Structure 1
């Protein structure tokens, strides 16, 4: 009989779906120990799992006094809560495991009524050989079933769980699960919050599941989850339900990858989400917020699940994620990370206990930039409590009775790893089309030659003059923000923020010249709470500077976060912006050698930003006013308010155009796609300012001369660049040095980013120009200069870096590995403990 057309189409559609999205085989745990404590017969749960009796299981129960209790029925979600075993003395369950690694440990409690003990008042502790799971635990008249869920890295084949009742009390347990977890479930890498930085060592902690939410979707039970987990709806945790809307699609829309499989979270999580509600306004500007009660003495890992199932096209959704009001993810563009819509993505963020005085809150909101649809989404959220310094997940005491004191393991880890840059990318031997570098140039100019030991031995800036805010002082110094200043200290330093002390004004507010401690001058950057745009830039600068340390980047001394004040304290750059010494201030003209050395220093700073940390940073506002000079005319790049993290695995960041006119990369302006080559273009304009001593844009000049880049390149193409150089340089500059310098600027200003050199290439050519100039002043020939350039680096002697014993703030100090080839050279942290701290003068708003 003929098959109806409609039925045939349905069958074809079904078969094509099956072939297009083959199901992932379920995870089969090697250890799958399920015990129904106190039971006489096994119990089968609705999800099909079978819990054995203690006699049937392979575990060994050691106890002298225990009681088995059961009830025929109760208002419980599972039969495992109908029986229990009660202990009046310490009891131990010992398990022989098949394989080491992470295991789920789930403890089930329900206070059954019995004639022996009132289990609602029972008080006891539960410990493994390593971790404290529960300390003086009591159900506190809770008449509901209680699940305590842990994820522990078990390294020994024997695993024990000890139940220890308090004196004159009892302990009890209804059921126990010890189940292998997939190796891929916990990555060793995450991101620390405030400052945002890489975090390594997640596999060294034990975890307790505090919350597991399915945003915008239904309850997911162990029956429907890939690993027997339960996901609850997020509605009860929304701070304002009117600001949020649920959205869902069919689960077959979710496209898993080889890296991210349903083991991380089931398709039901990624096929639903909570997004911004329709505010009926032209430009919605609000956040969707969730609030959670947590134990604020512990650190937490937040695993945030995302899947763009709302967008109609790529690169149309950009949004921010905040945790406790701090920027956790800026400008998240899921399609750039995943390559297509509907592909799951997750991010692990470590939240330090010091930032959770008021509990835990999570917010998502728009970027407030004209980049695509105004919306923000979140598909799922897992909140995991981290074990502290004595491996406790409840209370401050460890298994051996030692106390964690005021700190936690998470805090110590954040101290160490917030100062690290994670795995630094190899720099490689970059190919130069326009001038090849010597093969050993990279080795001679590795970051180790320009990075200084962290704070060395001078801790005078790290210690507060009084005990006020000492707890904050420890935290901020440990996270790389240096010394914590009280507001009163900064009032005194700036004479109550006297207007006569203002040395710069920006969108964030004012920069004041201040004097601290023994007369050290500093620049005090005070955020203006009325300036929304300025505060965003201010927070970006905090995040960037907290993870950047380099000789040629402006140093951050400290921080004030008192009440509503947001203040950063920098080293005072006594010679001000580079621009002031080129034109406009009637200062003593710089020699050509000085200009070359300053340009080289700035290039080193930018080269470090682009390649010296794992992800890389794009400055986005390179100009002569953001290159500052200290008392020795050492150049330092400043102002990171517009900076962006370079995208991992992508070649650009799609973002609204920001920067300064005259320096903007034309390709970035046209396509709104930011790359590190955008900084290279801006630096090319800086080089022309150095050579010609005039502004990048001067509207008072004739039309063809308004733009320095266009005007200078016209003369360069004519071969007459020497006609427009700074008159102060005439007769003092080596023509070959000027030619090499001008060639570098020309290459930087190429129309398309792909045709521009890297900052490493620019740096080498500037160093070569300096060698030519030095040979010229010493009466050497060009050939002699080439030999010198190939054998002697223009860099000063490398700073000796030796291991330093960890200080009280637990900062790590790194020693570069020996015998590394050019592609394996690693960066180390840079901050001088003896350098004077300072910041900008003459700063103007954008």
Structure 2
């Protein structure tokens, strides 16, 4: 009996020691993994959780620097005109260099738009939580009584718009186009599906898709996008977006939803497929609008499995027919007139990317019967867009580019360097 008692006591003691050891290890591990919450001169934000849409998001717990205005003056050479790499409705963008040698794009926002310091800091807090390899990274910010600035990573290979529509450039081959479509779709999927509250971009266009040297796409300018609650749409108080990319229902309702972004992305896909600009006054009368011109050709191509009429002639039929069909199907679904019949961005990404899994984009719509909304109504909406002042008031000349793809004011010799983030 004594031996049994001693054995039980020893076993209990050892179990208690083991439990204490496990608790201590877990506690120590948690301390090591937990990032410090304060550091002088910086704003620390936790990274996003794993992406439920499986879009390869990346947890990021690094510091976001809070710059002083004097620091940004030094970084940009006193906001020298020689360092201007873009200009648009939100303000000018300057190239700069940090002390560690990293190049950045400093976006100087126009002050006076009604946004106070508290609102600006709240917006930065949201932006700083977003990190994805297909989204341009926020490096830091500066806020004073008279200044609002955002500092973004510098992306080194210009924009999709430049490579598709720039004069005297090599033809972008099909593998690059497919890679860019998939990458930008993944970035936008992350904004729509994995950010809480979700982020509606509001100004998706080829000029807002930046490219690195490997032609990996990074979506820019979501830092000035408005946020929307999951259960609500956002009714804009001013015209947002770029003429040629905006969903037609926006002209009548003023509402922006994630499906408005989907429509705009569909226009980008059409640019990749056709090589044409969203609006091109050099085209024959009635064919100036890329969407209106392409819509019947998309249907014909999918019915006949012949893409020669819609594919960019400069490709000279050098493309994967299977991939071309996937992109044409995605574009056709994105530009449906009916908002509810358009796919979600995650569906678009999965339809383009074989690694994302196959997906059905029909949403109950038969080929060629996407809506009763006719081309005449679409033309009327385009005219309404014009009257709303799209051509004069919007961010269509950022990075020193006008709607026609020509250098705009302030671009100077930096036209060839126009590869920064954060327009």
The bucket for the TM-score relative to the shorter chain is 0.5 to 0.7
Structure 1 residue runs of 5 or longer lacking an equivalent are 1-408, 428-445, 456-476, 773-838
What does the per-residue CA deviation read over 1:368-389, in whole Å, with 9 as the maximum and x for residues that have no partner? xxxxxxxxxxxxxxxxxxxxxx
What does the per-residue CA deviation read over 1:564-598, in whole Å, with 9 as the maximum and x for residues that have no partner? 33222111111111111111243222211111111
Structure 1 match to 2:124: 542
| 2:308 paired with 1:722 | yes
Give the 3-state SS of the residue equivalent to 1:523 in structure 2: strand
Describe how 1:459-478 pairs up with structure 2 within 5 A: 477=63
Structure 2 match to 1:233: none
| 2:342 paired with 1:756 | yes
Structure 1 match to 2:87: 505
| 2:221 aligned residue (628, 639, 646) | 639
| 2:113 paired with 1:532 | yes
| 2:58 paired with 1:451 | yes
Structure 2 match to 1:830: none
| 2:152 paired with 1:565 | no
Give the distance between the partners of 1:539 and 1:701, measured in 2 at CA. 45
Give the 3-state SS of the residue equivalent to 1:532 in structure 2: coil
Give the 3-state SS of the residue equivalent to 2:230 in structure 1: coil
Give the distance between the partners of 2:341 and 2:355, measured in 1 at CA. 21
Give the distance between the partners of 1:425 and 1:668, measured in 2 at CA. 30
| 1:514 aligned residue (88, 96, 99) | 96
What does the per-residue CA deviation read over 1:231-270, in whole Å, with 9 as the maximum and x for residues that have no partner? xxxxxxxxxxxxxxxxxxxxxxxxxxxxxxxxxxxxxxxx
Alpha-carbon spacing, 1:508–1:741, altered in 2? closer, same or farther (3 Å): closer
What is the number of equivalent residue pairs in this alignment? 323
Asked if 2 retains the 8 angstrom alpha-carbon contact of 1:508 and 1:534, the reply is no
Give the 3-state SS of the residue equivalent to 1:662 in structure 2: coil
Give the 3-state SS of the residue equivalent to 1:628 in structure 2: strand
Structure with the higher fraction of residues in strand conformation: 1
Give the distance between the partners of 1:844 and 1:585, measured in 2 at CA. 24
Give the distance between the partners of 1:596 and 1:541, measured in 2 at CA. 32
| 2:320 paired with 1:734 | yes
Q: CA deviation at 1:771?
A: 11
Normalised by the size of structure 2, how large is the TM-score? 0.68
Give the distance between the partners of 1:535 and 1:528, measured in 2 at CA. 12
Normalised by the size of structure 1, how large is the TM-score? 0.35
Give the distance between the partners of 2:105 and 2:226, measured in 1 at CA. 24
| 1:766 aligned residue (352, 355, 360) | 352
Structure 2 residue runs of 5 or longer lacking an equivalent are 1-36, 359-416
Give the 3-state SS of the residue equivalent to 1:718 in structure 2: helix
Give the distance between the partners of 1:718 and 1:731, measured in 2 at CA. 17
Describe how 1:384-403 pairs up with structure 2 within 5 A: none
Structure 2 match to 1:673: 255
Structure 2 match to 1:649: 231
Alpha-carbon spacing, 1:768–1:420, altered in 2? closer, same or farther (3 Å): closer
Give the 3-state SS of the residue equivalent to 2:286 in structure 1: helix
Alpha-carbon spacing, 1:646–1:560, altered in 2? closer, same or farther (3 Å): closer
Asked if 2 retains the 8 angstrom alpha-carbon contact of 1:691 and 1:726, the reply is yes
Aligned-residue RMSD, C-alpha: 3.5
Of the two structures, which has the highest relative contact order with CA contacts closer than 8 Å and spacing of 6 or more?
A: 2
Give the distance between the partners of 1:588 and 1:535, measured in 2 at CA. 45
Asked if 2 retains the 8 angstrom alpha-carbon contact of 1:601 and 1:636, the reply is yes
Which of the pair has more CA radius of gyration? 1
Give the distance between the partners of 2:329 and 2:355, measured in 1 at CA. 10
Asked if 1 retains the 8 angstrom alpha-carbon contact of 2:204 and 2:261, the reply is yes
Give the distance between the partners of 2:65 and 2:357, measured in 1 at CA. 40
Alpha-carbon spacing, 1:570–1:642, altered in 2? closer, same or farther (3 Å): closer
| 2:171 paired with 1:583 | no
| 1:553 aligned residue (109, 117, 135) | 135
Asked if 1 retains the 8 angstrom alpha-carbon contact of 2:47 and 2:130, the reply is no
Give the distance between the partners of 1:486 and 1:649, measured in 2 at CA. 38
Q: CA deviation at 1:505?
A: 0.5
What does the per-residue CA deviation read over 1:333-376, in whole Å, with 9 as the maximum and x for residues that have no partner? xxxxxxxxxxxxxxxxxxxxxxxxxxxxxxxxxxxxxxxxxxxx
What does the per-residue CA deviation read over 1:28-72, in whole Å, with 9 as the maximum and x for residues that have no partner? xxxxxxxxxxxxxxxxxxxxxxxxxxxxxxxxxxxxxxxxxxxxx
What does the per-residue CA deviation read over 1:298-332, in whole Å, with 9 as the maximum and x for residues that have no partner? xxxxxxxxxxxxxxxxxxxxxxxxxxxxxxxxxxx
Structure 1 match to 2:75: 493
Q: CA deviation at 1:420?
A: 5.1
Structure 2 match to 1:811: none
Asked if 1 retains the 8 angstrom alpha-carbon contact of 2:198 and 2:227, the reply is yes
Give the 3-state SS of the residue equivalent to 1:669 in structure 2: helix
Q: CA deviation at 1:655?
A: 2.8
Give the 3-state SS of the residue equivalent to 2:262 in structure 1: helix
| 2:26 paired with 1:419 | no
Asked if 1 retains the 8 angstrom alpha-carbon contact of 2:221 and 2:422, the reply is no
